[in-house]
Each structure stands twice: as C-alpha cells, then as structure tokens.
Amino acid sequence: MDGTILSRIIFFRFAKMLDIKCLTVFISFQGGRLALQIYTSRFGTVVVKAEDVLSFAGGIPAFEHLQEFFLHPIPENPAFTWLQAAADPEVAFLLADPFLFFPGYAVELPAGVQGELNIKQPADALVYTVVTIPDGDIRQATANLVGPVVINPTARRGMQIILDGTKYTTRYPLFKE
C-alpha cells in the first residue's frame, strides 16, 4: 500500500478516535515510529510520538469530552509540565510535581484507580497537581492538592482523582510568602 494512502487512513482513524473536528494534525513516521504534529495555541505545532499520547478515559472534570492528552515538559523548569489536550489546541493544564513543593504530601490511590490505571506498584504512578496562576502572578500560584492528576506512563493512562476527607485544599499556595 502506498505510504501516502496509509498515512491518510491512519490520520482519519486517529482523528475519529479523538473526535477531532477542526484541529490540524499531521501524521508522519520518524525513525520508523508514528509521530503526530499537533497544533496548540500555547506552543505552536508540537511533534508528539503516538506512544506518548495518554488516555484519560473519563476526561478531566469539566472537560470530560477530551480524553487524549500529552505531557509537554518545560525544559528550563522540570518542576512543571503542561498537560495538553490532543483534540483542543486551547486546553492545557499547568502541572507541578507536588512532592517538590509539599514534602509531606501523600496520595493514597483507591484499588479501583490502581486497577483502572494498571498501577501495580508506587513506581508505576506519576502524581501531579494542577496549578492556577491568578492574573499571571506566579507569586500567587496555587496547587489543587485535593484533585491530583495520576498518570501511568507505561500504560499510557491518566486520571484526575478527588481525595475524600483530606486536610488539603484546592487552592494551596505554591510559594510561601
């Protein structure tokens, strides 16, 4: 089969899977692997390996219609990364490694979450918090410690969970004054 036809078939299947309507995605093969060129409003066009796309089966609260995301690291500041929606160029969440900012932070994953994300041991899970920066003032940044984002990068699955009965808050200051 011609490579161009194969690329179009893969694109249309992938676009249908992600429910892409007006998003520009180009598919190419780099080093024998499928790569996606996804347009984002913050980062321009980003090349993402197909195996780096994460499935959030239930979406993220208030964004349930978006179920495919990828991590877009911030090279100059590894404490943060972006979680970019693959199907909507406008939707990205700034994430932080909570253990760098809150050494006593603890997340206990319910058995159902562990099963859904295929987490067999703690090393299988990456835990992030969603960061809000009010009015663009990083000094006022807060982290949602009640709703961490849990990702199993090996299984390519993720989920935002809600911690019940916790002492944490949804707007915990990231930096102490």
Interval 147-170: pLDDT, tens: 999 999 999 999 999 999 899 999
What single-letter DSSP state applies at residue 173? E
Is residue 12 pLDDT above 60, yes or no?
no
Average of pLDDT values for 67-85? Answer: 96
Tell me if 150 sits within 8 A of 107, measured CB to CB.
yes
* Structure confidence at residue 3 (pLDDT): 45
CB distance 127 to 113 below 8 Å: no
- How many of the other CB atoms lie within 10 Å of CB of 95? 25
- Summarize the confidence of residues 89-98 as an average pLDDT: 97
pTM beyond 0.85: the answer is no
Rounded to an integer, what distance in angstroms lies between the CA atom of residue 89 and that of residue 46? Answer: 11
Q: What does the pLDDT average to over 78-89?
A: 95
pLDDT for residue 171 is more than 50: yes
Q: What is the pLDDT of residues 95-111, one digit of tens each?
A: 999 999 999 999 999 99
pLDDT at 124: 95
Predicted local distance difference test score (pLDDT) of residue 45 = 92
pLDDT of res. 6: 42
Give yes or no for residue 50 having a pLDDT over 60.
yes
- Rounded to an integer, the average pLDDT of 137-152 is 96
**Above 90 in pLDDT, residue 25?**
no
Distant-in-sequence, close-in-space partners of 116: CB < 8 Å, separation ≥ 6: 57, 157, 159
36 in Cβ contact with 52 (< 8 Å):
no
- Report DSSP letters for 45-81, one per residue: EEEEEGGGPEE-TT-BTTBTT--EEEEEE-TT-TTEE
Residue bearing the bigger pLDDT, 24 or 77: 77
Average pLDDT of the chain is: 86
**Whole-number pLDDT of residue 4:** 42
